[in-house]
A and B are shown apart, each in its own frame.
Chain A
Amino acid sequence: MGFEPKIVGFLCSYCAFKASEMAGSLRLQYPEGVKVIRVPCSSRVDPSHVLKALFEGADGVFVAGCHPGECHFIKGNYYTRRRIYALKELLRTLGLEGRVKLFWVSASEARRFVEKVTEMVEEIRKLGRNPLKGG
């Protein structure tokens, strides 16, 4: 049996989460390993949540929020952008590039959501298992 990556996604409930629901109602398929966590805003996600997911078994983590300028709370996703960018910089310093992603997906972009997630699963499949798992 091949390696099926486990992906944890933190989805903003105003956009990406709606898109994932719409993907369901449109019968669009995305890989089974993707587990979705609904958050009130992408800026709710502290990078410690992302790191914890990586240590507790996820092979990749993504944060999905509204496109810049379209945040329900006006500016939440601008903060997310800085944080996740900094987190990626940190992971680059520590030799763990490519396992954390940031997507902008609006509520109507079900297809984009499915494309992005499928793409990510393929990339992580190439990267292989997460070396951090289990501490």
Chain B
Amino acid sequence: MMRGVVTNREALRQYVEGFLQGERCAFLGFFPLSDGSVGLSLRQKPPLEFVLINPFFSFNSARFLHRILNPSYRIFSLLRPCEVRAYVELTKLNQVRGDNFVVFSVDCFGTLSLKGDVPPTLPEGPQELGKFLEEKGLLRWACKNCKDRGGKYGDGGVRFLSGGDLLLIPYTERGRDFLANFGPWREVSPEELLLREAPEEDAEPPSFELSELREAFSSCILCKNCRDMCPICYCLDCLFDGGGFLPSGDDLLNLLWREQVVDLPHNVLLYHFVRMYHVAQSCTACGACEEACPMNIPLTRFFKASSERIQRTFSYKAGGDFEEPLPFTTYREDELPDASD
């Protein structure tokens, strides 16, 4: 059984507007735009005509909680599960100061890419939307292969109930504090949830051949958009901004002298491999990299497979829990007996 506040969208809207009455309180969430699409917005004044479901995925919203370091603002946020998981990872990576944030994850029914054909109208209801996207083949690859659409992450979850109501469940102390004056609280059984999640499979993530990778990345132009739009790739000084990893200018001539042949752009696969390793522990397979890619490289396939494999190795789930330490920042003395050769 799950215990939470059973409410509806209008009551939730009023409750959040009430929260904005406080000093320096803000809301981050999805709002309808005049052209019929939906966008992310940070607001501090009513009216708050936010929507819970954003059918378009163009970037991971956790990026905008990055480096908000001013402790005086309190921010309440309603985002998608993959975004909230990235946010949880960022708090653990010390890139977000989470004490004043309350971030709830909302059940997700799949999203479509703005890069492909966008139908003029989309169905209203969440379930109808999910069905529509699936039937028309509009689901993004990342969403089609996502097993974590439930609002089960962050400080709390917003779950759709089959009767049309919403269930707000707090998961952390901050979430409980936020919902303290809300009601009515009720016990709800998981059968009442609208979202039917695919059962968790324990299948081995796929592996690839080098030729496959070469082919997929052959069109890469090294614009590094995938890095810039990745919520996890946060380093201010990226290895690939200096000359050491991506030679340019005179470095190219030095390289030519050494190697006789220099294919350009140089070290495309190195860039992607290093990124794959660096995001592996925290990647939530949201697919923001793929959305950002101007050459339509299927990045999510590779990043999802490699990160899932590494997270499985350490029985870790990116964004699953605020408390669980990141795999590369902790160790057990008696583990991995077969690590050394």
**How many angstroms from the CA of A131 to the CA of B273 in the assembled complex?**
14
> Which residue from chain B places its CB closest to the CB of A91 in the assembled complex?
B273
Interface size on B, residues (CB 8 A): 43
A36 at interface by CB-CB < 8 Å: no
User: What distance in Å separates the Cβ of A76 from its nearest Cβ neighbour in chain B?
Assistant: 10
CB pair A103–B341 under 8 Å, yes or no, is yes
Contacts of B180 in A (CB 8 A): none
B331 at interface by CB-CB < 8 Å: yes
**How many angstroms from the CA of A85 to the CA of B269 in the assembled complex?**
20
Chain A interface SS verdict (over half): helix
Known A51-B274, A55-B270, A134-B263: A90·B309 in contact at CB below 8 Å: yes
**How many angstroms from the CA of A79 to the CA of B332 in the assembled complex?**
9
**How many angstroms from the CA of A68 to the CA of B337 in the assembled complex?**
10
> Which residue from chain A places its CB closest to the CB of B276 in the assembled complex?
A90
CB pair B277–A95 under 8 Å, yes or no, is no
Interface size on A, residues (CB 8 A): 36
CB pair B208–A93 under 8 Å, yes or no, is yes
**How many angstroms from the CA of A83 to the CA of B268 in the assembled complex?**
22
User: What distance in Å separates the Cβ of A95 from its nearest Cβ neighbour in chain B?
Assistant: 5
Indicate which residue in B208, B269, B277, B328 contacts A132 across the interface (CB closer than 8 Å): B269
B236 at interface by CB-CB < 8 Å: no
Those of A118-133 within 8 Å (CB) of chain B: 120, 131-132
Contacts of B278 in A (CB 8 A): 48
B1 at interface by CB-CB < 8 Å: no
User: What distance in Å separates the Cβ of B14 from its nearest Cβ neighbour in chain A?
Assistant: 47
B181 at interface by CB-CB < 8 Å: no
B185 at interface by CB-CB < 8 Å: no
B205 at interface by CB-CB < 8 Å: yes
Contacts of B331 in A (CB 8 A): 75, 78-79, 81-82
List the 3 closest A-B pairs by CB distance, nearest first.
A78-B331, A101-B341, A55-B270
What residues make up the interface of B, taking CB atoms closer than 8 Å to A?
Answer: 205-210, 212-213, 239, 244-245, 259, 261-263, 266-270, 273-274, 276-278, 280-281, 302, 305-306, 309-310, 313-314, 327-328, 331, 333, 335-336, 339-341
Mind listing 29 A-B residue pairs with CB under 8 Å? A48-B245, A52-B274, A55-B269, A55-B270, A62-B341, A68-B333, A75-B331, A79-B331, A81-B339, A82-B331, A85-B313, A85-B339, A86-B280, A86-B327, A86-B328, A89-B309, A89-B313, A90-B273, A90-B277, A90-B309, A92-B207, A93-B305, A94-B207, A94-B306, A95-B212, A95-B213, A103-B340, A135-B263, A135-B267
